[in-house]
Chains A and B, each alone.
Chain A
Amino acid sequence: MNGVDLNLFQFERDLTFMAFFMNNRDGVYTRYGGREDGDAESHLTKTSLLRIMDEVLRRHEAGEAPVEQPITSGQPPRTPESIPQLKPMLARRREQCIHCHDVKAAELRGLQELGTFRRELIFTYPMPFTLGLDIDPDHQQGVRSVQAGSPAANAGVMAGDTITRVGDRRVLTVGDMARVLEQLQAETKLPLELSRNGEFVKTTLTLSPSWKQTADPSWRPSIELAGPNLGFWAKQLSEPEKQAANLPADALALKVTFLFPNHPTPQEAGLRLGDVLIELDGRRNAWTTRQMHAYAQMNHEFGDKVPAVIQRNGKKHNIIFTFYKFNLDPK
């Protein structure tokens, strides 16, 4: 992101891929990119990319105006280098490439310094699945299914519908939808325009205060800003390994492979390499390491003491993790 105009290119900084189709005056025809919690490539397909390229070319040649006009005209670019919180992060690294997620982390750090940070702020650029919409990855206006009881279901959206407008904006992709959703407040009404069997349908979604939050934010690098981590990396035991350790197949079983140097949380708990974490805070969810950290980051504060159970040499031991502040970045 070195030198990139952050006002011109606003997108989900936790992503590892994002694309814009633009005209030569900074206008955006459409966005391409975005992911669901469990799959980084959930909506990146060759079919959809080619379809969008054709669609954008057609619209460009027809002289259609972009749906997003630059909001920066006449203003000097705002670059990552201008964010004060980035400088100490970069100073601790050998390489000076600014990652997309660095920008988000630095901006969130700025909010922390101001005392206005809230955990919910990591849930940026909500994807349509947060509304209960399962969008076809190949045809990104097409509704594949609708989750029962969701805002989309309550508004009467149906499988097979084609979404043409979200809010006041024409949409072609989930990236477009996420852009509209990003700009919405919590607890609001969202107009939606659909095509159903060739008929025009208009409806309105009612969104709850916490609609932007998703079940598994562990993929987001920015989650490191949300709260404490446990200070170690671990590998999930395979099913045969769990069986050999007399653990159920769906149980938590994380074998410690790396202790963060000088991190007091695992040190004070007496955690060792090779220990297997089988319970944390009374939970035995079959988490990955990232999901384990995410649980702590989203549900605990620095200073909290959390009970855990580990297995060492076939025997169970109770330990206590005390959550200390420890800066994970940068490598």
Chain B
Amino acid sequence: MTRFFIVYISWIILAAGLAARAEEIAPVPVDGKITWIYRYEEGKQLARRLQRPMFVVFRCER
């Protein structure tokens, strides 16, 4: 998994207490191991540079 470039697109829902818009979300390290990126184009650029595939996730928190 660490060999993967990972893009994480998440739309945080108000009910969860976070009303942040997607474009305002900064990359967040998960367990100190994975940095999720919330901007697809930014992720794609990094994937090009690193020559890695992308793992793009859509997750809904209702």
Within 8 A of A (CB), among B22-55: 22-23, 40, 44-45, 47-48, 51-55
What's the Cα separation between A100 and B51 when bound, in Å?
Answer: 29
The chain A residues found within 8 Å of chain B, CB to CB, are: 1-5, 9, 11, 15-24, 26, 29, 50, 53, 56-57, 60, 93-101
- Shortest CB distance A301–B (Å): 28
Contact across chains for A56 and B53 when beta carbons are under 8 A apart: yes
Instruction: Determine the chain B residues whose CB is within 8 A of the CB of A21 once the complex forms.
Output: 53-56
Partner pick for A57 among B3, B13, B58, CB 8 A cutoff: B3
Q: A2-B21, A24-B47 are in contact. Are A17 and B60 (CB under 8 A)?
A: yes
**Residues of chain A with a CB closer than 8 A to B60's CB:** 15-17, 99-101
Q: Is there an interface contact between B11 and A2, defined as CB atoms closer than 8 Å?
A: yes
Main secondary structure of the interface of B (DSSP, over half): mixed
Instruction: List 19 A-B residue pairs with CB atoms under 8 Å apart, sorted by A's residue number.
Output: A2-B21, A3-B22, A3-B23, A15-B60, A16-B60, A16-B62, A17-B58, A18-B57, A19-B55, A22-B56, A24-B45, A24-B48, A57-B53, A60-B52, A60-B53, A95-B14, A97-B19, A99-B11, A99-B60
By the criterion of a CB under 8 Å from any partner CB, how many residues of chain B are at the interface?
29
Contacts of B23 in A (CB 8 A): 2-3
User: Which of B9, B54, B59 lies in contact with A4, CB distance below 8 A?
Assistant: B9
Minimal beta-carbon separation of B1 from chain A (angstroms): 6
Chain A interface SS verdict (over half): loop
Contact, CB under 8 Å: A95 / B56: no
Pairs A-B, 3 closest by C-beta atoms: A95-B14, A24-B47, A16-B60
- In the complex, the chain A residue whose C-beta lies closest to that of B39 is A3
Give Cα distance in the complex from A310 to B57, angstroms: 45
Would B44 and A24 count as touching, CB distance under 8 A? yes
User: For residue A94, which residues in chain B have a CB less than 8 angstroms away from its CB?
Assistant: 14, 19
B11 — which chain A residues lie within 8 A by C-beta?
1-2, 97-99
Q: Which one of B21, B54, B58, B61 lies within 8 Å of A11 (CB-CB)?
A: B58
CA distance A3 to B40 in the complex (A): 10
Q: Which residue of A lies closest to B14 (CB)?
A: A95
